[in-house]
Chains A and B, each alone.
Chain A
Amino acid sequence: MPTIDVDYLELQRLLNVNLNGDMEKLDDILAYVKAEVKGFDEKEGSASIEMKDTNRPDLWSAEGLSRALRGYLGQEKGIKAYSAGKSVLEVNVNANLFGIRPYICCAAVKDIHLSDGIIKGIMHLQDKLDQTHGRSRQKTSIGIYNLDLIKPPIEYTAVKPSDVRFVPLGFDEKMGLDEILEKHPKGQEYGHIVKKNSLYPMLYDSEGKTLSFPPIINSNDLGKITEESRNLLVEVTGTLHKTVLNTLNLVTLALIDRGGKSYSTTIHYPKGSKYTENTIVTPDFSNRRFELNVKDTNRLLGLKLSAEQISDALMTAGLDVEKVAADCLTVLVPCYRVDVMHQVDIIEDVAIAYGYNNIEPLWRELPTTGKAKPDQRLIDVARDLMVGLGYQEVLNTTLTNQDALFQKMQVPPTKIVELSNPKVITMNCLRNWLLPSLMEFLSINQSVEFPQKIFELGKVTLLDETKETRTRDEDWLAAITAHPNASFSEIKSTLDSFMANFGVEWQIKETAHPSFIEGRVGKVIAGGVEVGVVGEVNPAVLEAWKLENPTAAFEINFCAILSYKK
């Protein structure tokens, strides 16, 4: 979930509400847009706000929040109108970008007065958009330039990396593109996006001066913004036209909100290529139209709202209503509300404006029959039996590591479910048997009073080619007893009692198992099939777990014994 940092006093000023440092009051206001205060740094005067809705990049600035909330605060209803002046700049796109990073949208913003705070705010928004909405610059990336230094038209093209050298932002020497990927921090971070192609995207002005190497880094000459910069060029490149345009709109609106005037640019895509349109004017602040059915609205909300009531709620939520008929409304959705995909998104806005807490909750008595999963009753019976036998139930994670499953248990490794991206090496695979978890449990409790008797009835995950997920989960049962006199006969007696009470006939058959002492371990057989193992734990295993007491254990496939239950 995106978290943004905003200047608290600035937010209070923009919201036009006196909060007096009351974070709960701010929380109540932010609830309208599914945001909440995560932290407040009094010294910095900055509030950290978490957005639950990952699909509302229009909220990721103080201006955006105030724009969305002003209707709910009873200040100004409907869409906040924005416009862009006539086109001042042309951009030519080379056909060789198709399949690499084909789309670009630009806007000019003039007469802006940038303070250090404003620059920081814009950079924060740019970073959030690049990371979240732009999928770490994969999908879209933003560049902002000093417009006065650029000689249009602008060329967007793809080049051979070896052909180009320029001075990247923050450096003072010319570098080759691959050198930038290798040495520049941004190159190291985002280089993988361009490296899959043999040509890299580049932006030049008509004099051949480099604007940037998208999506990696701006040039140090044209791509540096200072408090003196008055006129800006905003550019967004990416892989999906809709997202590129939306992102440009959002950045441009933020600059307008900070006092700039926006002007259009004209993008020329190559003729006769795979692009669907050849000439596009951006930014595009036009509203989208949605038809909203009154009956559908009331059916989803369980209310009896009239078209007028719905219309009023929509205006509060910051949307416009173009036409109101008895059964249908034509709703205008502003360009910055990129989250609206379906009529239901608009209906939710009606509900939020109406107030969730003004709706009477309803619990219907439905003729449905409750039922636990099929094995649950017998699982509970088995747990009760183990508790009756004096064993403490424990709960372990199913994530573990090979050292625990194999090396420490002295058994040869087998194929198990491993993770590609473990967070810690001690949790890099799923367990395929339970005893290692119990041994680990004992190893942590060496200072606790003995005898220690514990059990777990839990899931193990096994590879299974025949299944959709290539795995199957099974419920297994393992128990362990550890104390100075723990022995094979004790654990066999416990297992025997468990099986007898559970109603399973079983036999034991001598076997060899490296986790157990030779001659003190047996296969557990039920219905002629091997369902588990019982024995006295090998001192080598005890040593590996740093255990000092004799230990005896059993582990059985609980699912399997269910079928042999009398």
Chain B
Amino acid sequence: MVELRAQEQQILSAIDTQGGKASVDQLVETCGFPDAAVMRAALTLQEKNLLTIQAATQNIIKLTAEGKIYAQNGLPERKLIHAVAEMGGKADLREAAKKAGLELQFVQIAQGWVIRKKWAIYASQDNTLNISEAFLHQVIIPEGCDETLLKHVCSKEQVVLDDLSDVLKDAAEQLKKRKLATIEPKTSRVLKITEEGKKAAAEATTAAPEVTKLTPELIITGKWREIKLQKYNIEAPVAKTWSGKKHPYLSFLDEVRAKLVQLGFQEMTGTAVETSFFNFDALNVPQDHPAREASDIYYIKDPKYGDVGSHATALEQVKETHQNGWKTGSTGWGYSYSLEAAQRLILRGHGTCLSARTLEAGKFEVPSRHFSIARVYRPEITDRTHLSEFNQVEGIIIDENLTLKDLLGVLGKFALEIAGADKVRFKPDYFPFTEPSVELSAYKEGYGWIEFGGSGIFRPEVTQPLGVKVPVIAWGLGVDRLFMMRSGISDIRMIFSQDLDWLRKKQVT
């Protein structure tokens, strides 16, 4: 037995009872489903060979506005002949027209049709109408085909020309000529039941009732046994569900953090607003260095100055180092150091200030490893390769006897563990606070070479004034570039993307 949904069943039965053939419009009327629902069911039924769908062009009759009025009030000739009848079968045309309530412009039309329909004879010598012999003794002059059709079409709004008898077809042409009706072709779909369809329709009337939704009541009462649950079209598209997800870049940073923790690094934190002392001075950046110009670092408007009073020893030693090298063996920068410039508040331009703070505070073990994931700020115009605000992953390693070999080893380890690199390459690099300094490029199959990190051994001008007597390796990783490479994005602004659609569709990794 063929499985049918309730709607499909009903439609099949309707076609069957309408003689095995029905237009979609007819079915909309008889079954009460919307047009689209009938078509959907029809397509399914056709697929199951229960019916065929044919496109047929039909001529459709509709009444004009004038036609509708006549359908309700009667044709003008009908009004005129009634008046004549009431006036004794013979009447003056003008008086009859007046009695019939015809407006002047319709009198001639009415007169013409009365004569053409042979309802009356016109005597021109006395301008009178005389009812024809045949109708003289009848109470009502019988309705003409045109009038029948007029009423029929009015009640149905539209009628298919081919459905009419030949007489009525002629009447339709007449109405059209009188501009009381229009006849226009329209393509419509006709459903024709097949032999199999007839069988299915017969079986359906005896099947169990079909139910769309399983309800708690059906389950509790056990009625589910008596009903049949409708089958769904499981291939039909459904509404999207958007999962809550972590931000892809923050997830990536989580991963980097986990790796670093696993490699024995502990996390350092600090504030976005920093003193120039820790961001620059303590890192051997002289107070007139271009990196401290307003084009390179954000300055705070108010309050302008922080307080480095609790770091008096470091302050004094850093000052001496800048001015004349202090005890570090350096020539120093040879200028006059300003406390005001040291206390000037800025938005930190790199995460290295956190390393400087860790060293200055002296709260570290030897050996120890530290890292930070810091939001940093630079006055850049944001474009596809620049951000004004971004994250830096950097840190330090403190131990006796650290050498350039360790420096290369640390970078190599990061390239392997964090970037998953196949090979690495080292180049000389420059930072004001490290010497020697190294740049790391990592190569990964399919991605090519990327500059992945920079690193160096802190200069004695940095460590000694902060009270550190062992070598310190400082490193920083180009994690943004790594993230972009992995996510297949070429525009760095995507890191802070406010495109919800992108975030929703981004696959988790």
Contacts and interface: CB of A to CB of B under 8 A. Distances in A.
Interface of A: 31-34, 52-55, 132, 135, 138-139, 240, 242, 299-303, 341-345, 347-348, 351-352, 356-357, 359-364, 366-373, 376, 380, 383, 386-399, 417-424, 427, 430, 440-441, 444-445, 448-449, 452-454, 459, 461, 463, 467-473
B460 A135 contact: no
Contacts of A449: 240, 242
B498 A441 contact: yes
A341 B325 contact: yes
B500 A341 contact: no
B412 A361 contact: yes
Contact of B345 (A372, A452, A469): A469
A362 B413 CA distance: 9
Interface in B334-370: 334-335, 345, 347, 365, 367-369
Interface string B363-384: 0010111000001010111100
A448 B247 contact: no
A367 B398 CA distance: 12
Nearest to B260: A370
B428 A32 contact: yes
Contacts of B334: 240, 242
Contact of B306 (A240, A440, A470): A470
Given A52-B429, A362-B405, A417-B273, 11 more contacts: A31-B427, A55-B432, A139-B288, A301-B404, A342-B329, A357-B426, A360-B408, A399-B388, A420-B301, A423-B381, A469-B273
Contact of B409 (A132, A364, A376, A448): A364
B272 interface: yes
Interface in B302-349: 302-308, 310, 325, 328-335, 345, 347
A389 B498 contact: no
A150 B357 CA distance: 56
**Chain B: number of interface residues, binned into ranges:** 35 or more
B249 A395 contact: yes
Interface string B405-444: 1101111110000000000011111101001111000000
A67 to B, nearest CB: 17
A250 B193 CA distance: 101
Interface stretch (B17-25, B70-78, B195-203, B262-270): B262-270
B247 A359 contact: no
Interface string B49-78: 000000000000000000000000000000
A470 B303 contact: yes
B490 to A, nearest CB: 18
B437 A386 contact: no
A351 B288 contact: no
27 contacts: A34-B430, A54-B289, A54-B291, A55-B430, A301-B404, A303-B404, A341-B331, A344-B436, A352-B428, A356-B404, A363-B410, A368-B368, A370-B262, A370-B264, A371-B261, A373-B267, A373-B269, A383-B250, A391-B244, A396-B498, A427-B389, A444-B498, A448-B501, A448-B504, A449-B242, A468-B275, A470-B306
Interface stretch (B26-34, B79-87, B112-120, B292-300): B292-300
B269 A368 contact: no
B263 A392 contact: no
B439 to A, nearest CB: 8
A393 B244 CA distance: 7
A177 B229 CA distance: 98
A449 B240 CA distance: 9
A421 B299 contact: yes
A392 B245 contact: yes
B121 interface: no
A32 B428 CA distance: 7
A391 B504 CA distance: 11
B271 A469 contact: yes
Given A34-B430, A419-B298, A397 B388 contact: yes
B154 to A, nearest CB: 45
Contacts of B382: 424
Contacts of A394: 247, 498, 500, 503
B433 to A, nearest CB: 11
Given A341-B325, A342-B461, A440-B498, A370 B405 contact: no
A132 B504 CA distance: 47
Nearest to A437: B498
Contact of B275 (A32, A53, A390, A469): A469
B177 interface: no
Contacts of B425: 357
B274 interface: yes
B67 to A, nearest CB: 47
Contacts of B335: 240
B403 interface: yes
Given A341-B330, A364-B409, A380 B254 contact: yes
Given A52-B429, A366-B264, A473-B272, A397 B500 contact: no
Contacts of B192: none
B459 A452 contact: no
A54 B272 contact: no
Nearest to A444: B498
A344 B389 CA distance: 33
A351 B434 CA distance: 14
Contact of A356 (B307, B427, B496): B427
A362 B244 contact: no
B247 A341 contact: no
A395 B250 contact: yes
Given A342-B460, A445-B499, A453-B244, A418 B302 contact: yes
A470 B345 contact: yes
B109 to A, nearest CB: 59
B271 A461 contact: yes
Interface centre among B262, B272, B332, B381 (most CB of A within 10 A): B272
Contact of B310 (A34, A369, A390, A468): A468
B409 A461 contact: no
Contact of A348 (B254, B307, B377, B437): B437
Contact of B272 (A242, A345, A448, A459): A459
Contacts of B507: none
A344 B388 contact: no
A351 B404 contact: yes
A363 B265 CA distance: 14
Nearest to B425: A357
A86 B377 CA distance: 52
